[in-house]
Structure 1
């Protein structure tokens, strides 16, 4: 009998020799199962491969009837083999036939065998097949034998993943690696994208599986682990990481995982069994992911991503790789798939090749989503599991309207979405034809349709969309995509470019809105807060750090020389904040005047109404500013006490509810009474139905994403505003009002032939 301790190493050595020989795929598999049976003193060794129709097909065997190869089949979940594939867990049985899942396949002749050991063939947590050994005698397979079989299964997984077995596949019965998969997520930006997967942080593909010197590989592994732990300790020791709070707890947990002795022991054991350090990381990561995916505890399932990230960092350190994703040539129809990413990282991809974005995490207000929306890229978020299932180059469809993702779609699905894209393109062409038409309702009411922007990439869309101007220019995006604070000269250059692109159209610049959840990594003054949306951000931060506001205002004033400058303050809570900001702005005007700079011919100062406390200061607010802009996203969040990034609450409350619409109507009426213009910027303005509701409560200026202007204008030009106002007044005055007026508004649109088709 082979030496028990040397078993896995001897088996791996023989496998390495077999992999190096020039063999046909079937012959290679036959010799692999023969070698496994020999080394493990097993009378049977069999390999089952999972097909795309969820059937496990016998691909090779030593000991069973050879005529059953490619004929014997088990459904996923059927029999011992199907149970292993469904659970991604090994089975080690002394009397297999007494197990409740045992299924007899007469064509294999396996009824005479008792002991059974089966392990899943795993790659990146995905089950690609099952590898088994069997004996007539009743015995419990040793732990080192289980480890040897699992390690061998990893080698076979690479054979499957690289397509070596495709020639053995019958037409119409593709392997599971190519199986279509659909995922349900959330819609973060509308649109449909067809293309091919580009993994933002692609898994490191381990090609060197077998080690020549275990001691040397253990040294490499320990050195890489040491570097990994040092990098985490460095994160925890930085001054910009708070010493209290949830963020600190997350990093401490992260450090705990990196020091986890169980994890490290499994890595070292895999190396001692003959794998390279990187192959050991790949194997342990894949085993752990497969097991944790089947846990019902949501906390433990979330920890899976922490281990994934640690393992990927460790792999990159072992292989000396950084920034794999962007160095590769992109397809012309790239759809970026990522767990999460920053706004600056998305801008690193060539815009003309991007067709969509898929995120496992994030929220509709994530910085990267804001940038993607500005680039008119469809985005699906909270798409759990898509990263581990996707491979670079896979065909993929992103349905940004429904938040769904179709990976390796079947031809009929692809054809349906291709037609949907063509239809959207035809509709967009119709919208472009009307971009020069006035935004006037059927009964002659004019409404300004403005666009939201924040980066230089947005500027061409001002002319393309037919927008009446820029109702919200988010100046903080320039800060968020930069590696360091943008110098005053860079800010001035951007603001001047924006005003030049707008020509005579108005542009409203929102002063920098950072802090809270909009963290700038280079801002050492940032603090960790339990409720960042309610914390030290926007005007609160810039009044405490007036250098921010003064530098930005100086750049804006110089860029707008000889033109009108419109500036608004975000997150205003009380009118006194506006007065304090005015003093700072006046100081900059006096400073520039002293040095004879060319100043704007007029400066208009406005405020964002997004904090509910201003509802009890409306009269003072309207008299303190030149205009007001309602930030519907935050105002709705604060009024309903709803975290708008929460997937659990995303559909709980409706902005088209009577209470919120009454609030908006009250703001419009206060503005009309004081003769102060009121605009609304936010997601509500970007959809024809909710834009119709805004017009119905009195808004005559709304700002939205550039892609939304065509559909909203199409709605407006067929809208009888007077009839809508009468209808909405009745609905808002109705007692015991419904949770939402959405159905009533749809009924009104249908009755008056008002188109409500989004882009």
Structure 2
């Protein structure tokens, strides 16, 4: 116990001495020299050296006690060279009893380090990025103890922060030292939502930066850390009970809880506080260690664990600061940077200022991507290492056409972007001119183009795009962004506003499609092993008929003498549709008995998303007034590939023979029975895929607002009969995707894609 007390007292005394040097005046080099001298004396080391990383990637000796002082600012090591390069490569301490025997040892005669054998070096980490190294050496061959390693890490963390702040060395002298990414970078990802955007980087849930690094009382600080850890765990327990979850899966929250109780993580925080750091500084130190160690892992599971610790660290910092999660203010022209987002999280931001979205993870079929497309926000995802390569306020270009992101772009890149943006503006002007032009093919077939919506703000797009109506109104969005269950009057008011805005144009309301990855903050939910195939959509409504009937009552009340279309999602059996339709009849009868206003006509339909229905269309279609093909879910179930899982979501192509044959089967069955059918998945809003749908016989497409113009231009240039003839042999292909063949067909027919 006495030894541990002395060990704690040692680094605290050392940190206090460093703080005194920081506050003293004098030349920067002189203060650096004093710091390494203090560290050497405290660590009983014969050598202490500080290396800083230049923008070129070279590591330069900035200060030393024990080596030849003439080597300062002379000795430079290339990227990965020597033991210092090995420290940066590993991102963790290097502890050697006989350094010259290590294969990475690089002898530099100007330093005079020949006599020294014992070597301990730790990285200077800032935001998980190595900006330098702190090294101690001794003549006698030995391995440094665990407490010595821990003490040097604590000192390194403090030095990294004060170097970056300019307190120890003037920022002018560090202008060529890479304290944060500053060089232009181009990252290749995947296009989630089309468009171009130039703006300033805003980090989603930016952690609170610790203002105070050194604690006044280590014992009291440890108590503060433990108290706030308990608050953190209590918050996570609450979320798992379903009180504060918006768009976050329970599996993730279970992982949060597991790591919040992780002994290794907790022990690392406690030891950092005992060494003299504040709780906030301890979180940053442990976070940097995890970033450096796990960020280079090849194993995807280990990289995911890093993300778990990152999120946990951010949440703990907010708890320590007394903050609670909520909406954030944005600067003008904001580009949001995040690992991943749920749909409700994206909706917390001001869409008038949010110009683009960049994600490390995600999928084009994820709901965050769907919301981004609905809001017209360019989005690129799967940008590896994004968060560690960009700083708050960096200029950023989002290229939603090529699926790329430019960080701190060069002037020529900005000029090219502006030229392309001008071309897109011209294209939008062309689409605007086509707004009131009917979508009729070259051979005279009328194609109805409708838009998808789910938010009140989407209604403005009806007039702007010239859409003929709303082919899919996602009613669950109102529930997801609310703090409590919307009451009957609130639901009725929204649906009334939607019908008013439509001005007599058709609106198809999809009843609540909740469950899976769409969880309400005020409803208790059970964890499911496979939520996409679990208790969701119409299944939830049928099991909780009061919830579904309340919504149906609001829809019937809102119609008031107007035509009403109601559609049930994820119907898997004929019996499910029969039961759901009976609830509509009950609510309509309830309104009639009380003399309430009712719709002039009421049409009830089903979404075809479950493959089982494809082989029972002969029984389903006569019971429906219309159907809509939800290709997003239909394709993920057809190919057994979770659309939200980046590792499998792109393994199939909707323009492949199996998918095209399924779609043709549905279309043919609807034509045979005279059942109106539309396609309302994401593919309806992409010109090439929409061309394929028209060639399969579909004449009603519902899409994100941004897709109306491009698809209408495509329709106006298409000879449908020729497209049908060209598509027929492709359906018989024995290969995989026929995307290239369909594009070749479209080009041959001079279709404007």
TM-score between the two structures when normalised by the length of structure 2: 0.93
Match of 1:257 in 2: 259
DSSP 3-state at the match of 1:471: strand
- In 2: Cα distance, 1:231 partner to 1:450 partner: 43
The Cα of 1:52 is off from its aligned counterpart by 3.1
Match of 2:217 in 1: 213
CA contact (8 A) 1:8 1:145 kept: no
Match of 2:513 in 1: 513
The Cα of 1:169 is off from its aligned counterpart by 3.9
Is 1:638 equivalent to 2:637 in the alignment?
A: yes
Match of 1:273 in 2: 275
CA contact (8 A) 2:627 2:678 kept: yes
Pick one of 718, 743, 747 that aligns with 1:746.
743
CA contact (8 A) 1:517 1:532 kept: yes
CA contact (8 A) 1:570 1:607 kept: yes
CA contact (8 A) 2:242 2:521 kept: no
Supply the RMSD in Å over aligned alpha carbons.
2.7
Pick one of 163, 171, 177 that aligns with 1:166.
171
Q: Superposition pairs for residues 94-105 of structure 1, below 5 Å?
A: 94-105=97-108
Structure 1 gap ranges (5+): none
Is 1:36 equivalent to 2:39 in the alignment?
A: yes
Match of 2:317 in 1: 315
The change in CA–CA distance for 1:170 and 1:584 in structure 2 (over 3 A counts) is closer
CA contact (8 A) 2:363 2:649 kept: no
CA contact (8 A) 1:185 1:382 kept: yes
Match of 1:455 in 2: 455
CA contact (8 A) 1:509 1:568 kept: yes
- In 1: Cα distance, 2:582 partner to 2:264 partner: 61
The change in CA–CA distance for 1:253 and 1:600 in structure 2 (over 3 A counts) is closer
CA contact (8 A) 2:340 2:359 kept: yes
DSSP 3-state at the match of 1:739: coil
Q: Superposition pairs for residues 621-636 of structure 1, below 5 Å?
A: 621-636=620-635
Match of 2:471 in 1: 471
Match of 1:9 in 2: 12
Q: Which moved more, 1:409-418 or 1:299-308?
A: 409-418
Q: Superposition pairs for residues 68-217 of structure 1, below 5 Å?
A: 68-162=71-165, 166-169=171-174, 175-217=179-221
- In 2: Cα distance, 1:710 partner to 1:463 partner: 12
DSSP 3-state at the match of 1:118: strand
The Cα of 1:80 is off from its aligned counterpart by 0.7
The change in CA–CA distance for 1:263 and 1:569 in structure 2 (over 3 A counts) is closer
- In 1: Cα distance, 2:119 partner to 2:749 partner: 71
Match of 2:3 in 1: none
DSSP 3-state at the match of 2:281: helix
Match of 1:482 in 2: 482
- In 2: Cα distance, 1:250 partner to 1:342 partner: 12
- In 2: Cα distance, 1:615 partner to 1:678 partner: 14
Match of 1:703 in 2: 702
The C-alpha deviation readout for 1:249-304, integer Å capped at 9, x for no partner, is 76565444333333333322222222122212221221122112233443233222
Structure 2 gap ranges (5+): 1-5
Is 1:591 equivalent to 2:594 in the alignment?
A: no
Is 1:332 equivalent to 2:332 in the alignment?
A: yes
DSSP 3-state at the match of 2:664: helix
- In 1: Cα distance, 2:196 partner to 2:243 partner: 43
CA contact (8 A) 1:696 1:725 kept: yes
The C-alpha deviation readout for 1:427-453, integer Å capped at 9, x for no partner, is 222222222222122232221111110
- In 2: Cα distance, 1:310 partner to 1:426 partner: 46
The change in CA–CA distance for 1:169 and 1:517 in structure 2 (over 3 A counts) is closer
The Cα of 1:180 is off from its aligned counterpart by 4.2
The Cα of 1:659 is off from its aligned counterpart by 2.0
- In 2: Cα distance, 1:415 partner to 1:46 partner: 45
CA contact (8 A) 2:189 2:404 kept: yes
CA contact (8 A) 1:121 1:131 kept: yes
The C-alpha deviation readout for 1:729-751, integer Å capped at 9, x for no partner, is 2322x4x5321221111111222
The C-alpha deviation readout for 1:642-682, integer Å capped at 9, x for no partner, is 22222222222111111221221122222222222111011
- In 2: Cα distance, 1:747 partner to 1:464 partner: 32
The Cα of 1:562 is off from its aligned counterpart by 2.1
- In 1: Cα distance, 2:226 partner to 2:612 partner: 56
The Cα of 1:163 is off from its aligned counterpart by 5.5
Q: Which moved more, 1:193-202 or 1:36-45?
A: 36-45
Q: Superposition pairs for residues 570-719 of structure 1, below 5 Å?
A: 570-719=569-718
Q: Which moved more, 1:198-207 or 1:685-694?
A: 198-207
DSSP 3-state at the match of 1:352: coil
The change in CA–CA distance for 1:89 and 1:652 in structure 2 (over 3 A counts) is same
CA contact (8 A) 2:243 2:522 kept: no
Match of 2:232 in 1: 228
TM-score between the two structures when normalised by the length of structure 1: 0.92
Structure 1 segments (4+ residues) deviating >6 Å: 237-241, 246-250
The Cα of 1:635 is off from its aligned counterpart by 1.5
Is 1:45 equivalent to 2:44 in the alignment?
A: no
The change in CA–CA distance for 1:24 and 1:501 in structure 2 (over 3 A counts) is farther
